[in-house]
Structure 1
Amino acid sequence: MKLSEESHVGEVAPATSLMMSSKNAIYQLAKWVAILSIVIMFLSLMTGVIVRYVLSTNLGWVTEIPNLFFPWLTMSAIVAAAARNEHIGIDLIVDQLPVLMRKPVLFLTNALAVIAFGLIAYRGLDVVNIAGSQRLPITQVGMSWAYWSVVAGFAAMAVVSLANIGMLLTGREEHAASQVPHGEEEL
């Protein structure tokens, strides 16, 4: 028995909506992690400057804060760009392909990305375990905190690529294109 066009669209819409919602949730989380990282680094460094010039002393922990939060800022920016399909890509090549070849190329690219990002996240767990015993000298925070950004970031990028595959399979590949006009994103 063949599904009617209306029932097929009814089944596809919730799946596509779920994938789009997942990508949007990942984007929002990554954006707020980046904002929080910037604010924390700015406040700690500003505190260090004020204390140095007002009290003529040094706060040692201030120099450790960027070591902990800069990796989170970097990975969250990468994830946010991937979730909005604003990452560096070679669309020129895909755009030059015949229409029938674009979908398989996008599918293959995203499938390879899921595998690669998943493996990087998985292997990053080994780095987290190794770095867990290393501590920053003043705050005594484990260096694994910074390396968790790699695991979380690449796992999120694998999920984004998986959502892109799902949208391609449901026939919603137009959502794989950039979702935000350049320079016009709202906060």
Structure 2
Amino acid sequence: MTKLSDESHVSGVAKATSLLLGSKSAVYKLSKWVAILSIMAMFLSLMTGVIVRYVLSTNLGWVSEVPNLFFPWLTMSAIVAAAAKNEHIGINLIVDNLPSAARHLVTFATNALAVTAFGVMAYYGLDVIEIAGGQRLPITKVPMSWAYWSVVIGFIALAIVSLINIALLLTGHDEHDASQVPQGEEVL
């Protein structure tokens, strides 16, 4: 009877770990697509502006506003994608050489601090959105809050990634395992 309950416990942990890793992968893929679409929007608008300028000898004023709208989304989505893949900037020399229990404690504390910090920044970012909501770009009349939403959503996504990291740690998953090192970009 004990063997059966141990197997069901291991199966439950494996399912939870799989769900958590799948969630991190979904956050990564979504943020990657936001980055791709942001780059495409900026490139197409700027290319349109160049073509119109040289073919028609006129300017499209709205072209200069597009990067103001999409560059913050590109930046935050890249930060979230890096965090979801554990590829953010970090110095792991000391942490990687700690005993397993100490490494888990440091990882837990770091992610708990990240959840708190990102949550606070997202919360106060809502104040910035409220202030910027009344400001509009001069030509397109798009509210400046559009760009600031990227920061709030990005910090929320970073907090979620950190929560997932904590949950993975609690299920016994070690992000420092060699098996977690990415072997190149997966297919879109």
Q: Confirm or deny a common fold (TM above 0.5).
A: yes
- The 2-side partners of 1:22 and 1:186 are apart by 16
Q: Which amino acid aligns with 2:185?
A: E
User: What TM-score do you get using the length of structure 1 for normalisation?
Assistant: 0.93
Task: State the secondary structure of the residue aligned to 2:86.
Answer: coil
List 4+ stretches of structure 1 deviating above 6 A: none
Instruction: Please tell me whether the aligned partners of residues 96 and 176 of structure 2 are also in contact (alpha carbons under 8 angstroms).
Output: no
1:186 equivalenced with 2:186 (yes/no): yes
Q: Which amino acid aligns with 2:44?
A: L
| Structure 1 residues 24-79: Cα deviation after superposition (integer angstroms, max 9, x where no partner) | 11101000000000000000000000000000000000000000000000000000
- The 1-side partners of 2:145 and 2:181 are apart by 34
The sequence identity of aligned pairs, in percent, is: 72
Aligned residue for 1:28?
A: 29
Aligned residue for 2:7?
A: 6
Instruction: Please tell me whether the aligned partners of residues 69 and 146 of structure 1 are also in contact (alpha carbons under 8 angstroms).
Output: yes
Q: Which amino acid aligns with 1:120?
A: M
Aligned residue for 1:17?
A: 18
Task: State the secondary structure of the residue aligned to 1:133.
Answer: coil
Q: 1:91 to 1:81 in 2, by over 3 A?
A: same
Aligned residue for 1:102?
A: 103
- List gaps (5 residues or longer) in structure 2: none
User: What TM-score do you get using the length of structure 2 for normalisation?
Assistant: 0.93
- The 1-side partners of 2:166 and 2:80 are apart by 17
Aligned residue for 2:64?
A: 63
The alpha-carbon deviation at position 113 of structure 1 amounts to 0.5
Task: State the secondary structure of the residue aligned to 1:64.
Answer: helix
Aligned residue for 1:73?
A: 74
The alpha-carbon deviation at position 175 of structure 1 amounts to 6.9
Q: Which amino acid aligns with 1:186?
A: E
- The 2-side partners of 1:126 and 1:8 are apart by 45
CA RMSD of aligned residues (A): 1.6
